[in-house]
């Protein structure tokens, strides 16, 4: 479905669309380590610590990229899965309408494709955890898949609720409709679906009430347990892909909540504004998440399904309510 | 009918207000099944009462019935302030601040809530199709509240939680009444509300009695008759 009538499916628009997609991937890839730096720095400052500055994750990544990975004998996937994870994260960022809502047929930004790509990344990291053959790896993978199985239906139902008033499951069409009618952002359907979506994004990216990204406590860790055996370059790719995924998903939520600044047609000026807008939005969203995390403790693993069931019911009620407002 | 049509612009504001108030009613009822603390439960009940008052005001504007504003004030005073406050004080006095029921796990309770909401919407289809209109369209929410109130009554042990379930049930009945018939006459409305208030006060006394006899307000202790 073409989102904007001004764009005819000819060669120029395809070139523009490809340029926008490539630009989007590059900007998000460059921003994601800085985003993590900002989030950590916000946390440190609020806890009264000085912190290493916002460039530390970038420096870590560059350091890891130069190091040779150590692979135990018999482990086959450790060289492949980090690259596969980075590939799915880049694909996810390419599919989401983060900078422009102009779509090209090559890149279907349909909701179901996006959820499929999300799940692909989840499976890749779970395989990485299982392949190392250690107790922690398997435990982390099993926990991660449990959470993923509870998260994916909520993502689908929440975005479905947002797509009902628009009449299309293409994410770019949803963002377009929100720019055209800003009142719809504060409608009860949209608020319920956004709250549900925020909870599942937090769960999907392993942030605080669900998983603590800064500890290696064996009883609770999920993400860290799966990547314990990765080292050197491989660890760098794994970390980068999960940061990129976080940046993309935060950008999606930010664009659904505050759709302004997204380019609706192709021009150099529009894209420049869109780059600035998405960087500011992702940074603000990340700082907000980090600030809220300071006040949260990790919930017990057995209470995570409770939280996710609540978010599912909210998304479900959003769908029921969206049939009420018609 | 996968993608319904967009709303007509003139009724859009009222439809938004209806969706907001009924959505809040439903959400506060569903979240009751998640919260374990009794004080959280009573504050959710207060929000629900305020949402019901908002719904009555919306109905009053939609139907052009000025006497409903008085009813809205009554609802606001009784269901958003007095009853939740009484329940909150009962919870503090009887000592039980946590609902420790394990009859239904909160996760299962939330999924039951989703199921019951669906059942309510399906069961109310004849009602909605009998007189199609913006008000009757949201009437299934009242039915869902009745079912959720029953669920709370069935799954909770504490006396205060039972009262909360009872008030949710009553809110559901009132919602259906306002949405399908524009409310019952004012005098009947006052009678029903006073009735609910009396039930809450009597059960509150009963809860204090239970507390002094058993040392707790868990209804499972009531297994034999005493004099």
- Give pLDDT tens digits for B61-76: 887 778 888 888 888 8
* Average pLDDT in chain B: 80
SS3 A12: helix
The residue written with tokens 């504490």 in the block is B158
Residue B222 lies in a domain: no
d(CA B213, CA B219): 12
What Å distances lie between residue B198 and A99, B59, B165, B187, B202, CA to CA?
Answer: 59, 27, 16, 16, 6
A187 touches chain B (CB under 8 A): yes
Query: Is the CB of residue A266 less than 8 Å from the CB of residue A16?
Result: yes
The size of chain A, in residues, is 326
In angstroms and rounded to an integer, the radius of gyration of the C-alpha atoms of chain A is 19
> pTM, whole model, 2 decimals?
0.81
- Across the interface, of A313, A323, A324, the residue whose CB is closest to B110 is A313
Interface test mutation site (partner B, options A313, A315, A317, A323, max chain B beta carbons within 10 A): A313
Is the ipTM higher than 0.90? The answer is: no
Query: Is the CB of residue A193 less than 8 Å from the CB of residue A161?
Result: yes
B113 touches chain A (CB under 8 A): yes
Residue B39 lies in a domain: yes
- Across the interface, of B15, B111, B137, the residue whose CB is closest to A309 is B111
Task: Name the residue of chain B whose CA is nearest to A316's CA.
Answer: B114
Chain A nearest CA to B150, separation (Å): 18
B141: chain A residues, CB-CB within 8 Å: 324
Roughly what angle, to the nearest 10 degrees, separates helices B140-155 and B106-123? 150
| Percent of chain A residues past pLDDT 90, beyond the cut | 32
SS3 B85: helix
Q: What is the pLDDT of residues A212-268, one digit of tens each?
A: 877 777 777 888 888 888 888 999 999 999 999 999 999 999 999 888 888 877 788
Among B210, B207, B198, which residue's Cα sits nearest to residue B82? Answer: B198
Task: Name the residue of chain B whose CA is nearest to A303's CA.
Answer: B107
d(CA A4, CA A320): 29
Among A246, A249, A251, A247, which residue's Cα sits nearest to residue A223? Answer: A246
Residue B137: which domain range? Answer: 13-212
Task: Name the residue of chain B whose CA is nearest to A322's CA.
Answer: B19
- Across the interface, of B5, B26, B110, the residue whose CB is closest to A310 is B110
d(CA B102, CA B106): 9
Q: What is the pLDDT of residues B128-183, one digit of tens each?
A: 888 777 788 888 889 999 999 999 888 887 778 888 888 999 999 888 888 887 76
B18 touches chain A (CB under 8 A): yes
Angle (CA) A262-A264-A270 rounded to 5° is 65
B26: chain A residues, CB-CB within 8 Å: 317, 320-321
B3: chain A residues, CB-CB within 8 Å: 164, 167-168
Distance spanning both ends of chain B, measured CA to CA: 60
Q: What is the pLDDT of residues B97-142, one digit of tens each?
A: 666 665 777 788 888 888 898 888 888 888 888 877 778 888 888 9
In angstroms and rounded to an integer, the radius of gyration of the C-alpha atoms of chain B is 18
Query: Is the CB of residue A161 less than 8 Å from the CB of residue A322?
Result: yes
d(CA B41, CA B1): 37
- Across the interface, of A187, A312, A320, the residue whose CB is closest to B121 is A320
B27: chain A residues, CB-CB within 8 Å: 192, 314, 317
B137 touches chain A (CB under 8 A): yes
* Helices H / strands E in chain B, number of each: 10, 0
Roughly what angle, to the nearest 10 degrees, separates helices A135-163 and A188-204? 160
Chain A nearest CA to B221, separation (Å): 28
B113: chain A residues, CB-CB within 8 Å: 313
Q: Which residues of A298-315 are buried (b: 16+ CB within 10 A; e: fewer)?
A: beeeeebbbbbbbbbbbb
- The segments of chain A whose pLDDT lies below 70 read 1-10, 324-326
Residue B8 lies in a domain: no
């Amino acid at each position: 479905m073409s989102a904007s009538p001004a764009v005819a499916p000819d060669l120029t628009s395809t070139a523009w669309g490809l340029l926008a997609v490539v630009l989007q991937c590059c900007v998000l890839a460059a921003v994601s380590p800085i985003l993590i730096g900002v989030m950590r720095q916000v946390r440190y400052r609020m806890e009264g610590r000085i912190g290493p500055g916002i460039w530390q994750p970038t420096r870590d990544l560059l350091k890891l990229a130069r190091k040779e990975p150590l692979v135990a004998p018999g482990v086959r996937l450790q060289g492949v899965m980090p690259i596969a994870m980075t590939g799915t994260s880049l694909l996810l960022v390419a599919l989401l309408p983060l900078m422009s809502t102009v779509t090209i047929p090559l890149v279907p930004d349909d909701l179901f494709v996006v959820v499929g790509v999300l799940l692909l990344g989840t499976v890749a990291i779970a395989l990485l955890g299982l392949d190392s053959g250690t107790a922690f790896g398997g435990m982390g993978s099993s926990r991660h898949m449990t959470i993923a199985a509870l998260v994916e239906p909520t993502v689908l139902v929440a975005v479905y609720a947002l797509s009902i008033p628009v009449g299309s499951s293409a994410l770019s069409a949803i963002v377009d409709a929100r720019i055209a009618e800003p009142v719809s952002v504060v409608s009860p359907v949209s608020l319920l679906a956004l709250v549900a979506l925020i909870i599942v994004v937090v769960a999907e990216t392993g942030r605080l009430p669900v998983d603590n990204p800064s500890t290696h406590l064996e009883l609770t860790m999920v993400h860290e347990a799966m990547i314990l055996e990765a080292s050197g370059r491989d660890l760098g790719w794994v970390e980068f892909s999960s940061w990129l995924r976080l940046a993309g998903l935060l950008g999606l939520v930010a664009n659904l909540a505050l759709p302004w600044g997204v380019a609706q047609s192709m021009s150099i000026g529009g894209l420049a504004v869109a780059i600035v807008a998405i960087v500011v939005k992702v940074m603000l969203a990340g700082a907000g998440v980090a600030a809220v995390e300071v006040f949260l403790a990790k919930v017990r693993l057995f209470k995570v399904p409770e939280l996710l069931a609540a978010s599912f019911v909210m998304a479900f009620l959003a769908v029921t309510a969206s049939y009420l407002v018609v | 009918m996968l993608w319904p049509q967009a709303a007509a612009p003139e009724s859009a504001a009222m439809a938004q207000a209806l969706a907001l108030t009924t959505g809040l009613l439903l959400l506060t009822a569903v979240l009751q099944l998640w919260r374990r603390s009794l004080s959280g439960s009573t504050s959710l009940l207060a929000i629900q009462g305020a949402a019901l008052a908002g719904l009555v005001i919306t109905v009053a504007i939609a139907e052009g019935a000025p006497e409903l504003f008085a009813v809205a004030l009554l609802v606001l005073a009784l269901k958003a302030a007095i009853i939740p406050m009484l329940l909150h004080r009962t919870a503090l006095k009887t000592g039980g601040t946590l609902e420790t029921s394990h009859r239904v796990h909160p996760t299962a309770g939330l999924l039951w809530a989703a199921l019951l909401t669906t059942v309510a919407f399906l069961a109310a289809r004849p009602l909605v199709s009998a007189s199609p209109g913006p008000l009757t369209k949201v009437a299934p929410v009242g039915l869902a509240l009745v079912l959720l109130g029953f669920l709370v009554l069935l799954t909770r042990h504490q006396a205060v939680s039972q009262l909360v379930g009872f008030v949710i049930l009553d809110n559901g009945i009132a919602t259906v009444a306002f949405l399908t018939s524009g409310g019952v006459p004012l005098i009947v409305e006052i009678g029903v509300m006073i009735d609910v208030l009396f039930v809450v006060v009597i059960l509150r006394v009963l809860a204090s009695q239970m507390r002094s006899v058993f040392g707790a307000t868990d209804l499972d202790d009531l297994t034999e008759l005493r004099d």
